[in-house]
Amino acid sequence: MDNLIFSLNATVPVFLMMVLGMAFKKLGWIDDVFASKMNKFVFLIPLPVLLFEDLATVDFAEVWNMKFVLFCFAATFISIALAAAVSFVWKDRSIQGEFIQASYRSSAALLGIAFIQNIYGNAGMAPLMIIGSVPLYNVMAVVVLSFFQPERKKLDRALWMKTLKGIVTNPIIIGIAAGLVWSGCRLPMPAIMEKTVSSIGAVATPLGLMAMGATFDLKQACGKVKPAVVASVMKLVGFAALFLPTAVWFGFRREELVAILIMLGSATTVSCFVMARNMGHEGVLTSSTVMLTTLFSAFTLTGWLYILRSLALI
């Protein structure tokens, strides 16, 4: 019951923030132009700062486990490949990039540490899970959204160079790289800087959620119901069902298994929508998947935890 309450406390407010965005749009307090600028601002500043903060403040030397990191990386990579394969089922090729990203990309950095702390009282293996998955999440998101754009372009040298440039200059990639360098060099973070960084990063999620709600079109979303449902089932059930038994076979237990569960089965992250919109995609399928996975993840995560506890694995 406690896990259900925690999951609801973690996911329902997120869903309500999107509903607030929709309500503000309905009341005329947010228009399309303002919502678009909010999306761009979150993409350029708060989201990269949030990722920098997550990584820069972790001492990876104390908790390093190469086997665990490689497993998280491999599971993420295979999940992306499977999502890409399934995406070819849809006749509408303009949604392919959004479908792939929304199917595999979790709220790992945002919810992972909080979820594990609630169960074990510390961050556990969440930082290593972030290292193994989040950089790959974001790099592949840039690649996928660049190659699978609504208006298809020939995969020539110019497009490859443009994609490479997009990866190198992507604010989210820069935020991750800066955080890894900061942590690796063991640089101290003065209190003034820490509070400033924390304050900036804190606005990423609420602003992104409200902007997403304000740009959500229910009529358009109805036309994307089937791919959104498939992406949501893959995100919340499919990948966890595939990789959790493998993780158990590899010997992972307790904090390790919970971190892997969050990586595989948590809701699709809001930054998917922010990146999709800022890289030329419609964003309707992404926002639909985020809303569905956010709404149902409280129940699916609780179900997975119940199964793992029943088997005495956590």
Give tens-digit pLDDT for 240-274.
999 999 999 998 887 788 888 888 888 887 778 87
DSSP 74: H
Q: Identify the CATH number of the domain defined by range 2-310.
A: 1.20.1530.20
pTM of the entire structure?
0.73
Max Cα–Cα distance, the chain, nearest Å: 55
Close Cβ partners of 273 (under 8 Å, ≥ 6 residues apart): 39, 208, 212, 283, 286, 287, 290
Asked if 104 and 235 count as a contact pair (C-beta separation under 8 A), the reply is: yes
What pLDDT was estimated at residue 249?
A: 93
> The dihedral of CA 127, 131, 134, 135: what is its sign?
positive
> What are the φ/ψ torsions at residue 268 (nearest 5 degrees)?
-60, 130
DSSP secondary structure letters along 191-217? HHHHHHHHHHHHTHHHHHHHHHHHH--
Which of 111, 156, 163 minimizes the C-alpha distance to 142?
163
C-alpha closest to that of 279 among 171, 117, 126: 171
133 confidence band (pLDDT: 50, 70, 90): confident
φ/ψ of 18, rounded to 5, equals: -65, -40
Contact 201, 176 (CB under 8 A): no
> What is the average pLDDT value for the chain, to the nearest integer?
80
> Is the pLDDT confidence value at 160 over 80?
no
